[in-house]
Amino acid sequence: MTISLSTPNLEPNMSHGSVGLKVAQMSKEQQKIEGDIALKLIEAALPETPPAPVGNAGHIISTKA
């Protein structure tokens, strides 16, 4: 009994670019995931916005000396 590895099925896929297309799709998905992670890190590092002043305190500044 002989066992032979038939590789003709890979040749048409590689010549038609379906393997390259799949790699490109996976790469795009990976880049999107990494971009989302980077945005989350940037947002987490941003300082919190200070609360807005209440009333007129601090809004009127006298510039006369």
The pLDDT of residue 34: 96
Residue 6: pLDDT above 80? no
pLDDT per position as a tens digit, 7-33: 555 555 555 567 788 888 999 999 999
Q: Which region holds residue 51: left if phi is over 0, alpha if psi is between -120 and 50, else beta?
A: beta
With b meaning 16 or more CB within 10 Å and e meaning fewer, what string describes 27-56?
eeeeeeeeeeeeeeeeeeeeeeeeeeeeee
Q: What is the pLDDT of residues 35-64, one digit of tens each?
A: 999 999 998 988 877 767 666 666 667 777
Find where tokens 């006369």 sit.
64
